[in-house]
Structure 1
């Protein structure tokens, strides 16, 4: 039986679109939301993402939560044993599983809290622990996985999710049980459009969201879809007549805005 060696694994991703209240969420599996700084040589984000101070500012300026260059990160570090010849395959498994796990958790937060939380780049590193007598020999094995989220994310400011303290326990319970894909095919397809709306320009995002409503509230061959969707949403959401009328009017206005933005985009082509 081949000897197993000990490897240190470090995983980190910078979060966009959230303030410090997200630190209260529990995403499980050893991952923690953690406040870290872009200032080099403190939390060593420059080393984690294999860049310099300017590179960090360029990539994560829009993610900072204060003027002290602090960020919210997802972070995990641990050690594990692998047979040396299998470590590359094990690293690929760790990478794939981590991508899927964190993507599901971030999508879950967006679904439950309706906030623009996202991450741009995932750093996963693995390094063999070396005996003292050979510790100066560089035997590290490192890799960075890049996850595209939005064009010009590094320079585009987005709103930041704020989580009400009284909802933290509720959200943590739901995050623990929420699984993707959603078992109901219709709801899963709606969720895909909903989630995609966070990564698109405003005109496309509105179209994606109105498409979700139509999938939920219309039969395939119904006419006057705007009025039917607006009416059915209003009746579902509100009991009071005035609230229903207000919701109905706002949804019709959203449809009109969608059409105007769509025409503007066509005129740019």
Structure 2
């Protein structure tokens, strides 16, 4: 009932969490606008949603292309009189030592996908949302967007944390103007994004549907934060015992470097 008849825009909707979220919302009567780079896959998802009786529209978009973001935002506004919800789900991760990431521009690429691209899309659509009387913006973030800093994830953590703080600041500006902002700090989710990291293959992880159920929770309850029960403990530990945590993480990084050297030998 919370979303029936509403128009919901979802970025990164072709696979994983975004796809599961789109299917879940469409099954509850929302019209879903599917955005991602992979147009063919989006068409497949949209066709399956329509076959099940739902409403879905496809917009192929690369968030790293600033001019295309503006053009696509204008096209979406022309095609849909209202946008009630924006779910900023598109994201990318890279696990690599910082000293090896400079020549590959890891930070620049992840900032474009995880921060500046999503921010540009929101800024283009936000005036309509304010003018129509309000809406909800949901940021699909990560538990790793919060301290402590984990070795080899600097570009990912930095870009996710930057967007999260930017959106939180924006949300405070929008108080009283009808637009509500929420962040969902997900733990590990079993998607294509974590597949390249061997250490995650046996680690506990949510399914995409379980993650989607967390993502839509702010549409049902007026919360500003959805997070695993243990995340507050992580934040408190990072605040009270930074040297202990940093020492432990530094030790793990040194152990990984040694194991890597031994494998090369």
Same fold, judged at TM 0.5 (above)? no
Higher strand share: 1
Asked which structure has the greater RCO (Cα within 8 Å, sep 6+), the reply is 1
Under a length normalisation based on structure 1, what TM-score does the superposition of the two structures give?
0.27
Under a length normalisation based on structure 2, what TM-score does the superposition of the two structures give?
0.28
